Amino acid sequence: MDKENRDCGEKRISALPQIGFGTYPHKEALLEAIPVVISCGCTLLDTSDNYDNEEWVGKAIASAKRDELIICSKFSQPYRALEFNKCFEESLAKLGKIDMYLLHWPYPHLWKKLWVMMEELYLAGKVSAIGVCNFDVTNLKELLSFCRVKPCVNQLECHPLFQQKEITDYCRENDICVMSYSPLARMNDALMESDVIKELSGKYGVSASQIVLRWDIEHGFIPIPASAKEKHIVDNMGCLNFSLAEDEVAKIDGLEEGLRIRFDPKTRFTSREKRKFLIRRIRLAIGI
Ligand SMILES: NC(=O)c1ccc[n+]([C@@H]2O[C@H](COP(=O)([O-])OP(=O)(O)OC[C@H]3O[C@@H](n4cnc5c(N)ncnc54)[C@H](OP(=O)(O)O)[C@@H]3O)[C@@H](O)[C@H]2O)c1
């Protein structure tokens, strides 16, 4: 297909918001947290089929104006690749709606086949956007070389201590939106207690978290911070109420340390998952 004419799911979602809400690792607490998130004007909720909380997200949004929300979930069960559509339907039944569906990891030997199935979902109109997580530049180049539907987003670990500049630059050049997970670096002291963040937080009279989340927004990334505490949720959403100057963003850029807080996608396909995958295949083969 002509590259220029390739569909990008984002068009079907009128506009992606500047910030979203990460639901992991929360479960029942989401019943109280999500209404707070929505009351702050946040419309993007991020979950996954391996967070064990889709049911709680579904319950929390049941009485909300669901049309105004963008519900993002992920496929994370490579050992059930042959049941891809069933996995999607299971997530959909728990959530009530899925607008954006992401491939959680570039599963070796599988992700290209899985992407074709993601495309089928999108082309059948079952979701408004599809995207990926944890894809590096090599993965993205390969994906763009054969895809019929371009990924709308690449969700990856991104915060001032670990900016993944090569990947985010590549995403920008190719109109793939960067969604930052662990955007607060899980409140790592090297970030939150740094002189730069403290100075800017004093200057603007806002919290360190707001400065860090604003840094994402100034770069055009969508941060998805997680918290089940009302005080922290409201605090985080406050990053929409001010802006940072270019030189201030550059100062925060200077905090890069190459400090990854979460899993490395290259080693994420752990032996545990490989074992699950093999067991699943054997079971399917012998019909149990
Ligand atoms: N695609 C992927 O592979 C992937 C991987 C990891 C995560 N994610 C997504 O990204 C989301 C966020 O990532 P994350 O949970 O790893 O990291 P995070 O959002 O950087 O940090 C969460 C931590 O920060 C604390 N916190 C949040 N706001 C705060 C505030 N204003 N003041 C003080 N503390 C605050 C929370 O504590 P309290 O609970 O006490 O507020 C929690 O301990 C997840 O929920 C998930 O949806 C995606």
| Section 212-221 average pLDDT | 98
**Residue 53 CB neighbour total at 10 angstroms:** 21
pTM: 0.92
- Whether the bond into 183 is cis, omega within 30 of 0: no
Cα of 226 vs centre of ligand 1, distance in Å, is 4
49 close to ligand 1 (CB < 6 Angstrom): no
Considering only CA atoms, which residue is closest to atom 10 of ligand 1?
181
| Section 86-95 average pLDDT | 98
The residue whose two tokens read 């590096």 is 136
Q: What is the pLDDT of residue 9?
A: 57
Per-residue DSSP letter, 16: -
pLDDT band for position 273 (cuts 50, 70, 90): low
Alpha-carbon distances of 265 from 52, 87, 139, 146, 273, rounded to whole Å: 21, 22, 11, 21, 13
Considering only CA atoms, which residue is closest to atom 11 of ligand 1?
22
190 three-class SS: helix
Cα of 7 vs centre of ligand 1, distance in Å, is 31
229 close to ligand 1 (CB < 6 Angstrom): yes
- Is residue 269 pLDDT above 60, yes or no? no
As beta bridge partners, residue 70 has: 44
Q: 51 an active-site residue?
A: yes
Q: What is the rounded CA–CA span in Å between residue 85 and residue 120?
A: 10
120-144 residue pLDDT tens: 999 999 999 999 999 999 999 999 9
Q: What is the pLDDT of residue 4?
A: 42
226 φ/ψ angles, rounded to the nearest 5 degrees: -115, 140
141-186 residue pLDDT tens: 999 999 999 999 999 999 999 999 999 999 999 999 999 999 999 9
- Give the residue, out of 158, 187, 230, 270, with the most ligand 1 atoms within 8 A of its beta carbon, to mutate for a pocket test: 187
pLDDT band for position 10 (cuts 50, 70, 90): low
What domains can you pick out in the chain, each with its CATH number?
A: 3-286 (3.20.20.100)
**185: which residues sit within 8 A by CB, 6+ positions away?**
159, 160, 161, 162, 191, 192, 212, 259, 261
Cα of 156 vs centre of ligand 1, distance in Å, is 13
Residue count of the chain:
288
131 close to ligand 1 (CB < 6 Angstrom): no
Structural contact between residues 24 and 133, judged by C-beta atoms closer than 8 angstroms = no
Lowest mean pLDDT among 36-45, 54-63, 203-212, 259-268: 259-268
Structural contact between residues 269 and 105, judged by C-beta atoms closer than 8 angstroms = yes
Q: What is the pLDDT of residue 265?
A: 83
For the chain, what percent of residues have pLDDT higher than 70? 92
| Section 28-39 average pLDDT | 98
Structural contact between residues 209 and 232, judged by C-beta atoms closer than 8 angstroms = yes
Q: Of residues 70 and 4, which shows the higher confidence score?
A: 70
| Section 16-38 average pLDDT | 97
